[in-house]
Structure 1
Amino acid sequence: MARSKEFEENEVLDKAMKLFWEQGYEKTSMSDLVEHMGIHRRSIYDTFTDKRTLFFKAMERFGNRTDAKLAAGVKQAKTAKEAIHFIFDYMSSTEEGEPPGCMFVNSAVEMACRDEDVDAKAVGAFEKVEHLLVEIITWGQENGEFSSQYGAQELAEYLHNALIGIRVMARTSVPKEKLERISTMSMLLLEK
């Protein structure tokens, strides 16, 4: 007779996600995962198959969570400028109890050049953010908030590049004020 799980899968997946996010894939050992997830090694294998599968499930969880937070923040924005500000603020801040930066950016830097699957996940996540930026910039151009000197796609690519830089810098000891200045300067490109 099979034993029932004595843990909530999403709860332990969140713990694995934070560990991979903070340490990266290669530095995170199965022993680290057992300790941080608070479950037995056998339970990890039974539930998630192996470390690599667990890592990809953690990336997916991170992506779904980030997508939901971005969508909610943008939905509450009354203007396109407010929506862009929200995205920059969200990307440059660290919620309590969470590692700084972005799991996709960290994973891309660590592994994308030698792992096609990590590359595909990171590129897919980046494309989602760029698509969201295109929608917001188009909204701002149509209602006269933003300049139409450049196309929405080109502006989104530029802003996304700034956001990736901010997410990398957020992992360092760079002061938050510097990240805010970079955000402000990046947004000036949108103005008329």
Structure 2
Amino acid sequence: MPRTKEFDVNEVLLKAMQLFWEQGYEKTSINDLVEHLGIHRRSLYDTFGDKHQLFLQAVEAYKNFLEGQFERGIADAGSSKQALRFLFDFMIEGYENKPPGCLFVNMAVELALRDQEADAHAGESFEELERLLAELIRKGQESGEFSNSLGTEELAENLHTTMIGLRVLARTSADRSKLHRIADTALLLLYK
């Protein structure tokens, strides 16, 4: 008769997500995971596979976390301008009880050149965010909130690149007021 799990798989994935987010993939050892997750090594392998498979599952948990945060924040925004401001503030201020920065950006910097799966996940995430930005910009242009002088895709690419930089800087001791000024300057493109 198979044994029942003595832990919540989703809870363990969230803990793994946070550890990989804080330390990165290479720096996180199996021993770190066993200790941080509070499960036995054998249970880790039986449930999640090897470290790389656990990492990819943690990345998927992170994607779901972000999608939920973005959906709620955008739904609460009254306009495209407010939705974009929410996204920038979210990137700068971080997430409640979560490490600063972004697991996707960290993964891209650390692994994308040598890990095709990590590169694919990072690329997919970046493309999804650019599509979301383009959609918000398009709505703002249609409602007259933003200028139509620049194309939505080009603006989305530019804003996304700024967001990536902000997520990197958010992991440093950079002054948050500086990061907000950078975001404000990037958003000025929408009015030109």
CA distance in structure 1 between the aligned counterparts of 2:11 and 2:84, rounded to whole angstroms: 31
> For 1:127-184, what per-residue CA distance to the aligned partner results, in whole angstroms no more than 9, with x for missing partners?
1100000000000000111011110000000000000000000000001111111111
Kindly provide the amino acid, as one letter, of the partner of residue 5 in structure 1.
K
Correspondence for 1:187? 187
Correspondence for 1:137? 137
- Partner SS for 1:189: helix
Kindly provide the amino acid, as one letter, of the partner of residue 92 in structure 1.
I
State yes or no: 1:166 paired with 2:166: yes
Correspondence for 1:113? 113
Correspondence for 2:83? 83
Q: Which runs of 5+ in 2 are unaligned?
A: none
CA distance in structure 1 between the aligned counterparts of 2:39 and 2:115, rounded to whole angstroms: 28
How far off its partner does 1:77 sit? 1.2
**Higher alpha-carbon deviation: 89-98 or 54-63:** 89-98
Q: Map residues 1-192 of structure 1 onto 2, 5 A cutoff.
A: 1-192=1-192
Kindly provide the amino acid, as one letter, of the partner of residue 134 in structure 2.
V
- Stretches of 4+ moved more than 4 A in 1? none
Kindly provide the amino acid, as one letter, of the partner of residue 171 in structure 1.
R
How far off its partner does 1:3 sit? 1.9
Q: Which runs of 5+ in 1 are unaligned?
A: none
> For 1:84-124, what per-residue CA distance to the aligned partner results, in whole angstroms no more than 9, with x for missing partners?
00100111112232111000000000010111111100000
CA distance in structure 1 between the aligned counterparts of 2:70 and 2:31, rounded to whole angstroms: 33
Kindly provide the amino acid, as one letter, of the partner of residue 139 in structure 1.
K
CA distance in structure 2 between the aligned counterparts of 1:94 and 1:144, rounded to whole angstroms: 30
What is the CA RMSD across the aligned residues, in angstroms? 0.8
CA distance in structure 1 between the aligned counterparts of 2:100 and 2:75, rounded to whole angstroms: 24
Kindly provide the amino acid, as one letter, of the partner of residue 57 in structure 1.
Q
> For 1:59-89, what per-residue CA distance to the aligned partner results, in whole angstroms no more than 9, with x for missing partners?
0000111011112211221111001001001
Give % identity.
56
CA distance in structure 1 between the aligned counterparts of 2:57 and 2:10, rounded to whole angstroms: 10
Alignment size in residue pairs: 192
CA distance in structure 2 between the aligned counterparts of 1:114 and 1:53, rounded to whole angstroms: 16
> For 1:17-37, what per-residue CA distance to the aligned partner results, in whole angstroms no more than 9, with x for missing partners?
000011111110000000100
Kindly provide the amino acid, as one letter, of the partner of residue 116 in structure 1.
Q
- Partner SS for 1:190: helix
